[in-house]
Chain A
């Protein structure tokens, strides 16, 4: 599936929820289901700065596509990174770099997009795209 198709799928899922509580419960569940990052990658180097909770991200290039794994010590943050990874993982660096992130707004998480927000969603997106830029250079 393309990034846009995955984003539309997520928008569909979130449209079923009536209030914040259902949305958050779903994110919490996504966080619980997130495939855990291998412990060897939970290093200080892989921590995303700008989050009140700890977020680790590891990226690997496989068949010209990037595979992301991540973890966080806070479950809501884990849910947010799980959504991002679902969108970005197994995509080409170019598609990740070009991806439009408006879907965050559509699934009712706009409040998390403020750069000063302590959960660092903006930092997470930036970091994932940075990996894509780095691998893109490698591919050229």
Chain B
């Protein structure tokens, strides 16, 4: 039983480019993922257990949409963090995981027809209260590195994670595992991968960014998607 071709979701690459970089190359790469973890137990089970359809094998869990690739290196010379736009497309965010530089403004845009009451877990005052109506925008600023989990108290299934890092160089991963960090100043960086709820526990991977052109990087995720403790 062969695996079906993966559906590649549009990868919204959020770039935070350092301003005023005279010599800048780029980083593009691919994340090689091991076998997907087992699907979580059925959530909100109805009267029946879920059953597999008889026509095609069940799709594996898509792991790459929950990944964020981050380059850590010398601090950028000046510049201000770039605002991050996060689309709320219905019953989920367009990207379940996004990155934001410390001090950046995160703007949540509700492109669905459903009003939401968003709240940051553990930081109830981070997001302005009240419903976020369709086509409405709610923004907040991230002041420290860490994780911010945003959800809707009326829809437990609606969750998204903002990974706040010091580096301005980070990118999400598409369904095929590809990512593109865009312009990155020349230099040597350490590459880290965030997955789901934490950082992948893997050997340290150095990335040397040339002055011109793109550095091709392949990131291998260890089996079992181990996370740093």
Whether A associates with B in a native complex is no
B residues at A contact (CB < 8 Å): none
Residues of A within 8 A of B (CB): none
